[in-house]
């Protein structure tokens, strides 16, 4: 009854001229039971592609929805979407949209994709044929080799006549003696360094560095720091130390590798650089720096666990001073070495080998001096070293960062603190075994701030305590105490040079630590 009323109303509206066009309709809104609608506008038919299917719809478009009237948007097709959406309107007769036929043109992108698929399939077929032919050739070659070997063995054992059975192309192979593979597998890191290094101190050749790095098997963690961690590695029976940087700290890794590859840097008291490479562990990229392995760890660890004899303490100080002298030294020549200041010298950055030799490592904050252009090669980051070991001029900001000598004088101040740590652990008698203490342990905490160190070192002018018995007792206490005090002067220019300290310690060592040494 309700539908008949609607039809009556529609008929009346049609008679008065409000709606005059009947259209096919598939929308739920505005359609009667016969899926028809009446409008004063146009009939519309549209199709679109959706998830690989074509959807079509019939609609009535009222006159007030046709904008602009001359070319309404609801009836025009867009070039941008003509391959997935088309529409058309009509108003020439009732149900005229049933007579509209639309079809999508060929999409050039689809044609191109199809063409590429066909090309890929053709290439796969060609590659498959080549692979099969290559396998057949390999099988035939292997069969021929097996046949020749068996033929030669039978000939040697007398089962076949040499004249009739041995192939004319087969002859006894001889060549200049070469090194067998098993012998190469026993090559150690030291052998490689001897065979491939020119003495410049820049590590192994680049290709060999990557080869070594990919053959290193990582073992336990032996240290951690601001850069990442250090792990013991194993390469063909040789122990190496692998310093692993995070990819976020790439600049520090690049800088340290750059400094280690400085020509003529290699020295018995500088940590030996072997290789640098990057490794992908599946979740992130690791940056490796491979160096010689120091069995006793850092000097900090060594002094924490062990006391030293006067002779051992003197040797440790001499090793450190010798290494620092080589760093500070500029070597002239075609492959010369620039002068280098460490800028982060401390007991944790000095490593101890199994035989007690000390080497200086961790050159990430080092600065290089080019004497030709009188320029400084500074690291990328703004770190200034460990606060406990910073010189007074660094703490109060008065250091002249354009003068390379200022950085060397800062290293001398830190060297004096490290020497104090060593002397503090010298066991002068079996009954006295002093515990390890870091410099300024009695006036600042475990992790002092810059303000705390500035107050202690710059304002209060304090230095690590030199017990009176050190200066009154026999060598090496008195001479080492004098050297330390001359490393700590507030005036940087008054401090000793690394070469002067090295020569004084050499002379002290030569006298058997029983005689006094002349004032340095």
Kindly list the catalytic residues.
344
Cα(323)–Cα(346) distance, integer angstroms: 13
Q: Is 507 left (phi over 0), alpha (psi -120 to 50) or beta?
A: alpha
Which of 445, 437, 489 is CA-nearest to residue 463? 489
| Residue 281: strand, helix, or coil | coil
Tell me if 320 sits within 8 A of 269, measured CB to CB.
yes
Cα(470)–Cα(18) distance, integer angstroms: 117
| Residue 449: strand, helix, or coil | coil
Query: Which backbone phi and psi does 246 adopt, to 5 degrees?
Result: -75, 155
Cα(322)–Cα(360) distance, integer angstroms: 10
> CB under 8 Å to 404, separation ≥6 — which residues?
339, 341, 367, 369, 376
Residues recorded for the chain? 520
b/e map 475-500, b = 16+ CB within 10 Å: bbbbbbbbbbebbbbeebeebbebeb
Structure tokens at 391: 């010189």
Tell me if 186 sits within 8 A of 236, measured CB to CB.
yes
């Amino acid at each position: 009854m309700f539908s008949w009323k609607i039809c009556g109303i529609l008929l009346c509206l049609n008679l008065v001229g409000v709606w005059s066009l009947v259209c096919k309709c598939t929308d739920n809104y505005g359609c009667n039971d016969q899926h028809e609608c009446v409008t004063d506008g146009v009939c519309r038919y549209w199709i679109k592609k959706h998830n690989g299917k074509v959807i079509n719809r019939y609609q009535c478009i009222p006159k007030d929805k046709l904008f602009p009237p001359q070319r309404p948007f609801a009836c025009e097709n867009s070039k941008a979407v003509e391959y997935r959406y088309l529409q058309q309107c009509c108003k020439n007769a009732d149900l005229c949209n049933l007579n509209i036929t639309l079809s999508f043109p060929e999409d050039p992108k689809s044609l191109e994709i199809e063409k590429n698929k066909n090309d890929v399939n053709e290439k796969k077929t060609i590659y498959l044929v080549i692979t099969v032919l290559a396998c057949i050739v390999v099988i035939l070659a292997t069969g021929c080799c097996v046949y020749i070997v068996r033929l030669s063995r039978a000939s040697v054992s007398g089962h076949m006549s040499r004249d009739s059975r041995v192939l004319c192309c087969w002859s006894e192979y001889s060549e200049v003696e070469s090194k067998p593979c098993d012998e190469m597998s026993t090559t150690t890191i030291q052998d490689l360094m001897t065979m491939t290094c020119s003495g410049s101190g820049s590590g192994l050749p680049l290709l060999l560095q990557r080869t070594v790095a990919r053959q290193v098997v990582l073992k336990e963690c032996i240290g951690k720091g601001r850069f990442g961690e250090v792990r013991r590695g194993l390469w063909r029976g040789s122990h190496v130390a692998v310093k692993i940087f995070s990819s976020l700290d790439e600049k520090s890794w690049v800088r340290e590798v750059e400094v280690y590859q400085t020509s003529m840097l290699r020295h018995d008291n500088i940590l030996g650089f072997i290789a640098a490479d990057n490794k992908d562990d599946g979740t992130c990229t690791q940056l490796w720096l491979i160096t010689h392995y120091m069995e006793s760890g850092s000097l900090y660890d060594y002094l924490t666990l062990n006391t030293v004899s006067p002779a051992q303490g003197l040797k440790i100080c001499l090793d450190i001073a010798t290494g620092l002298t080589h760093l500070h030294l500029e070597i002239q020549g075609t492959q010369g070495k620039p002068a280098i200041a460490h800028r982060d010298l401390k007991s944790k950055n000095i490593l101890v080998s199994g035989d007690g030799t000390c080497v200086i490592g961790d050159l990430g904050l080092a600065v290089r001096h080019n004497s030709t252009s009188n320029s400084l090669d500074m690291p990328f980051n703004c770190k200034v070293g460990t606060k406990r070991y910073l010189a007074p001029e660094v703490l109060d900001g008065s250091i002249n960062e354009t003068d390379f000598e200022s950085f060397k004088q800062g290293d001398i101040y830190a060297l004096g603190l490290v020497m104090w740590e060593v002397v503090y652990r010298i066991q002068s008698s079996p009954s006295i075994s002093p515990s390890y203490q870091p410099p300024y342990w009695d006036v600042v905490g475990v992790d002092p701030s810059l303000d705390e160190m500035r107050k202690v070192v710059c304002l209060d002018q304090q230095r690590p305590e030199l017990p009176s018995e050190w200066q009154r007792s026999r060598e090496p206490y008195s001479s080492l105490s004098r050297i330390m005090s001359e490393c700590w002067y507030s005036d940087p220019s008054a401090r000793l040079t690394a070469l002067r300290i090295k020569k004084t310690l050499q002379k002290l060592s030569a006298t058997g630590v029983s005689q006094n040494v002349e004032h340095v």
